[in-house]
Amino acid sequence: MRLYDTQRSGNAWKVRLMAGLLGLTLERRTLSIDRGELRSESFCAIAPMRQVPVLELDGGGTLCESMAILFYLAQDSLWWPLAPVEQARVLSWMSFEQERHMKPLAQLRLHLGLHRDRRPEDADMRHHAAEAALALEILEAQLSRPGTAPWVATPTLPSIADIALYPYTRLAGMGGIDLAAYPAILGWLGRIEALPGYQPLFPGRPDLNFSTAETAAL
């Protein structure tokens, strides 16, 4: 299988993380947003939603959207629980990630950490910061609940919901958020990072994980 991603995409990191934890090898095709490669005819032909991640399947065809790709990779593993009620809980936390968690955290990282084209006091950044703080408060409360911790959606084993919520939480500091205020989240991030097969954002170059400089080569 081949993964289309960009160097710093948190949504594509979910897919590489999941593949590593499942022991799967993905060929990687890294595109550049700045060079317009996500608007090229060839990318649009395989990516109807015109965003990464896109997974090209061995038998032909592609899958878009990180949530769908995580499900596809993990459906026959312990990362996707068997009981329908647990499957539904996993889906509810993945919806939370897409709807309320990823966007504000990604926007803060993009504009304050990477592009540096906004100031924290700008109205849109203050709005995203308030939404991000609420999302992290909700996640902290969930991870502090007896009977649910140490994983987000399922009591005993981690699930694809943990993988979906990991990257933008891990990268929150680049958007000016101090994760020290969230001790249960910090413990959970450490548990994920200790799992065999864990993949950093830049494999072999941990110094780049939180850096904001452009990287010429991987």
**Among 10, 20, 81, 175, interactor with ligand GSH by CB under 6 A:** 10
Using alpha carbons, list the distances in angstroms from residue 166 to 3, 80, 119: 19, 16, 25
Interaction between residue 51 and ligand GSH (CB under 6 A): yes
The three-class DSSP label of residue 162 is: helix
Interaction between residue 11 and ligand GSH (CB under 6 A): yes
Interaction between residue 33 and ligand GSH (CB under 6 A): yes
Give the separation between CA 216 and CA 218, rounded to whole angstroms. Answer: 7
Contacts of 79 (CB under 8 A, 6+ apart): 18, 21, 22, 70, 157, 158, 159, 160, 163
Tokens for 107? 């926007």
Interaction between residue 167 and ligand GSH (CB under 6 A): no
Interaction between residue 53 and ligand GSH (CB under 6 A): yes
Interaction between residue 114 and ligand GSH (CB under 6 A): no
Binding mask 70-109 for ligand GSH (x = CB under 6 A): ----------------------------x-----------
Which residue lies nearer to ligand GSH by CB, 12 or 125? 12
User: Residue 6 phi/psi, 5° resolution?
Assistant: -125, 165
Of 107, 122, 117, 97, nearest to 177 (Cα)?
Answer: 107
**Among 52, 125, 172, 174, interactor with ligand GSH by CB under 6 A:** 52
Interaction between residue 142 and ligand GSH (CB under 6 A): no
Residues in the site for ligand GSH, rule: CB under 6 A?
A: 6, 9-11, 33, 38, 51-53, 65-67, 98
